[in-house]
Amino acid sequence: MHRRPLLAVSGLVALAAAVSGCGVLGIGDEPADLQIYTARHYDLEQAFGKFTDETGVTVEFISGDDAELLERLKAEGDDTPADIFMTVDAGNLWNAARQDELAAMDSQVLEEAVPEDLRDPDGRWVGLAMRARTVTYNPEAVEESDFDAEDTYAGLADPKWKGRLCMRDATASYTQSLVASLIDLHGRERALEIVEGWVANDVDVMSNDILLLEAIDAGACDVGISNHYYLAREKAENPDLDVELYWASQEGAGTHVNVSGAGVVEGSDNPDQAQQLLEWLATDGQNAFVDANHEYPVNPDVEPEPLIAEWGEFERMPLNAEAYGDLNAEAVDLLAEAGYK
């Protein structure tokens, strides 16, 4: 596989954090070579510290949520200190590109390393870590044969699951992107029927995936939908957790996936180094970026870490970032219409 030559720049490692994107807490006396506005909060130090060790290019972070960081980029315009915008939802990446906040990259490395549907067709962003949003269940109460293998998400609207479901709240981007993908796949009318079916089954709505998995383990509900890496984290800490994973819709459209990804900021003063970092994260740095959080590599030549590798390969639903972004408002409206909280 072709690699761009690594550019060595001397400097001190400057790993930084920020409170809601307002200010930087840095380490070191010199400014960093690259500044990243990031809504990703998973083990940044390990991956980016390794990048600095290998290249000499130093990195600094400003953290916040997706919407506030995008608004900050827009307000700063050409005067922004940011070089990279990193976020945890393909719809957010699509939205940043649509608002012309991300620069087009011409990168053979990224084109070879990342599947076509996990990167922007115009080169403005690239997925770097993949997460599957699939079914988790209590094996004491559920058999795999109980699930609809063709359309597992829709199958949870079956009345046999009444009083047995746990899911995330309507404000979660995970829920909104899943519903947007259902609208894209089935059309609005059928997607509304599916969500209304979840509601009719007295779905127990949780504020985060960890609570959902704990509820399944405790027998408070039998089945839920969660990101795979939350289950991997819990299993790593407690191998006896009574929750298993089921790959959704393997005889149909495949399991819903999303990405954590990034793009070079349009106003970056260091676009070449910023692109170099993204290329490194998609190739030599893939394992450093994804393994600690049990996410799947986007690069098909990179093996997943051992714990999630035990779950085997799965067919994934093709990712449509435009649908996740463009249909987000419709997904929010649909959830409200269905009475999903």
Check: CB of residue 135 under 8 Å from CB of residue 202.
no
Q: Which residues pair with 38 in a beta bridge?
A: 63, 86
If asked whether residues 41 and 58 sit together in one domain, one would say: yes
CA–CA gap between residue 305 and residue 310 (Å, rounded): 9
If asked whether residues 59 and 139 sit together in one domain, one would say: no
**Residue 29 included in any domain:** no
**Residue 160 included in any domain:** yes
**Residue 25 included in any domain:** no
If asked whether residues 73 and 144 sit together in one domain, one would say: no
**Residue 276 included in any domain:** yes
**Residue 87 included in any domain:** yes
Residue-number span of the structural domain to which 224 is assigned: 131-256+312-338
If asked whether residues 205 and 293 sit together in one domain, one would say: no
If asked whether residues 139 and 219 sit together in one domain, one would say: yes
- List the one residue out of 134, 127, 132 whose CA is nearest residue 259: 127
If asked whether residues 240 and 92 sit together in one domain, one would say: no
If asked whether residues 287 and 150 sit together in one domain, one would say: no
If asked whether residues 207 and 245 sit together in one domain, one would say: yes
- Give the CATH number, domain containing residue 61: 3.40.190.10
Confidence band (pLDDT; 50, 70, 90) for 15?
very low
**Residue 121 included in any domain:** yes
If asked whether residues 211 and 330 sit together in one domain, one would say: yes
If asked whether residues 80 and 199 sit together in one domain, one would say: no
CA–CA gap between residue 92 and residue 312 (Å, rounded): 29
If asked whether residues 156 and 111 sit together in one domain, one would say: no
Q: Which one is predicted more confidently, 316 or 42?
A: 316
Q: Which residues pair with 62 in a beta bridge?
A: 37
- Distances from the Cα of 118 to the Cα of 94, 98, 104, 160, 257, angstroms: 11, 16, 15, 35, 10
Residue 43 has what pLDDT? 67
**Average confidence (pLDDT) over 203-212:** 98
**Average confidence (pLDDT) over 234-260:** 98
pTM: 0.90
Check: CB of residue 209 under 8 Å from CB of residue 226.
yes
**Residue 11 included in any domain:** no
Residue 126 has what pLDDT? 98
Is 29's pLDDT higher than 90?
Answer: no
Domain count, the chain: 2
If asked whether residues 123 and 135 sit together in one domain, one would say: no
Q: How many residues does the chain have?
A: 341
Least confident window among 41-45, 221-225, 259-263: 41-45
**Residue 216 included in any domain:** yes
CA–CA gap between residue 219 and residue 164 (Å, rounded): 9
